[in-house]
Amino acid sequence: MQYRSIILATALAVTTAFSTGAQARDLRASHNANPDEPYGVGLAEMSRILDQETNGALKIQVFANAQLGDEMESIQGTQMGTVDIAVTANETLANFVPDLSVFSLPYLFKDAAQMDRALSDERVFDAVSQMVSERGFQLLAIFSAGERHIMSHKPIQSMDDLKGLKIRTIQNPAHLDAFKAFGANPTPLPYTELYGALETGVVDGAEAANTNYYAQKFYEVTPSWAMVSWLELVAPVIMGKAQFDALPADEQAALLDAGKKAGTFERQFYAKSDEEKLEKLKEAGVTVTIPDQTPFRAAAETIKSKYLDNDTKRDLYALINSIQ
């Protein structure tokens, strides 16, 4: 596969290749979270590794909080060359790479640890890389966007409590179908509008991870937190393929190596951050419930066949489930 061949062919020569004092190149990376959230920390680690491995010849300038545009705009920016690197929720990228909808399936992974094992497997990376390459992107890493739960104004004790509630979701068909199967009324809204929508009652709740539920202070307006673990959200780190292919082979190798290492780092950081933020949420007075996942998982099964509608998706799904 291209990823492994580039790394193996150049790994021993990377440091030497960048010791000649080549002019430094800055890459602009975009994400929509705070700098100290996992996306930002992961990109900072990628930048650190890249700077080290290229002796400063290739660096990443990170723009947080959607400064270069929201996720959709950032993806489009990588196509136009106005953004070099973008971190995006898989659900947004699936609008450009439909086969990635596999990762939108509820309860695809057993838990965060199994997700990390699957995403660390080079067969999974190669399969995803091939998918995005065919649509004009280069995969650099796969970050985590956390184990997702449900925030609400009133405590949710069971799936029955979701009936009729307007729950904000990403504009993604699998997410919409999942929450319909759970009995809710899924309501897509831009992330930047979510706090106000929760505060004014436009929506009754939303799905999120411990980390961004705490960091964005959503608990101030929706102080109930139902830990249903309905999704392990992944976030590909991409670059426009044309821009990537135009780079020298040694810079391509350095980017892929830094991406692989940063992906592992970010996923582990996210898992640790989720644990820490849960304790902070409890300290802040959030009402935490742990509904029985059995009916949620049963409801999730009813929508999976709709999205596993070709061999590429079915093969990736089977591969992920084979990694325990």
Question: Which range marks the domain in which residue 12 is found?
Answer: 2-322
Q: Which amino acid is at 145?
A: A
Gap between the Cα atoms of 188 and 176, Å rounded: 8
Rounded to a whole number of angstroms, the CA Rg of the chain reads 20
Q: Which amino acid is at 181?
A: A
Contact criterion met (CB below 8 Å) for 235 and 90: yes
Q: Which residue has the tokens 């838990």?
A: 111
pTM of the model: 0.84
Tens of pLDDT along 64-107? Answer: 999 999 999 999 999 999 999 999 999 899 999 999 999 999 99
Which region among 15-29, 148-162, 306-320 has the lowest average model confidence (pLDDT)? 15-29
CATH of the domain at 262: 3.40.190.170
How many independent structural domains does the chain possess? 1
Contact criterion met (CB below 8 Å) for 30 and 87: yes
Contact criterion met (CB below 8 Å) for 167 and 159: no
Q: Beta strands 287-289 and 137-152: pairing type?
A: unpaired
Tens of pLDDT along 237-248? Answer: 999 999 999 999
Alpha helices in the chain (DSSP H): 2-10, 14-17, 38-53, 71-80, 90-93, 112-120, 122-133, 173-181, 194-200, 210-215, 241-246, 249-283, 294-307, 311-322
